[in-house]
Structure 1
């Protein structure tokens, strides 16, 4: 009889633990809505330029003098398009983002923010603008 009671007790503990874990996990997962400010896609209630205050208007020399992954050279400062003119937005559009663009210059100074050969200032790989063009190297691989 003692074995049956301890077996039933173990089953109750396992069920309670499993249910508790599922509830905690469900609270951590947000389906269909992104509430994180660092995530790639903007939340629906934020403006498209919510991340602009996190991006410097200038680009570090190491990135300003670099080329994109496809070898595109960065335009001179006076010839770059402003973020507004390029319709730059914080987050991807239709699954496309700067990190998959032929003009994107990957982070070179360790601050997790890159640059663009066409657009002024710092650029996040998770964002997008109307100048987006797919990387040639990704298409050919």
Structure 2
């Protein structure tokens, strides 16, 4: 059966052969505005937001904007019911790949429990785990984002070029970028594919998904699909493309 995943993989292959899209290797899962362990005298520390201690980074509390926020998978965070990072083998992606439980391409950015950056410090949070979370992290309670159902009277092959519902056509992205329906790139030209597969195949960097992209327009009508301020067609939070831009860049 021809599925949306088949379609996306096929278009990525075509685009790659034709040289379309940007170089994802030039983009990373974090942005400027954080201080490194070297700068703070802690060589083993990963980058942390300025003024945040290692204890706060690992165990919270997170900023107020995340305390009871909703994740990419529509899970509400309960600050009184969270797992400690140590209890879920929480790690950065490079370490996660050594864990037998890790599946290639999976990371917080394409996890249903991830809450993307909301204050411009390049970190997000999790609906199930305490502390600051980067999109390129991973843990053993990773939960895949559910693939949205194909809208009625539409085939999977139609999704890439279909006109999106009215509420998305001129909507603002999650960072305020207005969508111009007359100035959009095709999904083929930007190598749109599912984030997990793009990361596993080396097209995307760990930590990159539409869910934490500055151009993404989240679900507005309850069908779990979203849209993009720069790309035509239906777009899911679990997707990725070559013009990905970290949400922090525009906050």
For this structure pair, what is the TM-score category when the shorter chain's length is used for normalisation? 0.5 to 0.7
Where does structure 2 lack aligned partners over 5 or more consecutive residues? 1-99, 105-142, 146-155, 197-203
Query: What are the residue-to-residue correspondences of 1:1-141 with 2, within 5 Å?
Result: 31-33=101-103, 39-40=144-145, 53=157, 55=159, 57-77=162-182, 79-92=183-196, 93=204, 94-136=206-248
Greater Cα radius of gyration, structure 1 or 2 = 1
Task: Give the length in aligned residue pairs.
Answer: 95
C-alpha contact (below 8 Å) 2:172/2:217 kept by paired residues: yes
Q: What is the DSSP-based 3-state SS (H/G/I as helix, E as strand, rest coil) of the residue aligned with 1:133?
A: coil
What TM-score do the two structures reach when normalised by structure 2?
A: 0.34
CA offsets, 1:39-71, max 9 Å, x none? 35xxxxxxxxxxx64836221010112101111
* More helix per residue: 1
CA offsets, 1:48-99, max 9 Å, x none? xxxx64836221010112101111000233x210001011111243221001
C-alpha contact (below 8 Å) 2:163/2:233 kept by paired residues: yes
CA–CA distance in 2 between the matches of 1:80 and 1:71?
16
Q: CA RMSD in A?
A: 2.6
CA–CA distance in 2 between the matches of 1:95 and 1:121?
23
CA–CA distance in 1 between the matches of 2:188 and 2:233?
12
Query: Which stretches of structure 1, 4 residues or more, deviate above 6 A after TM superposition?
Result: none
CA offsets, 1:72-131, max 9 Å, x none? 000233x21000101111124322100101100011011001000000101001110001
CA–CA distance in 2 between the matches of 1:104 and 1:71?
10
Q: What is the DSSP-based 3-state SS (H/G/I as helix, E as strand, rest coil) of the residue aligned with 2:163?
A: coil
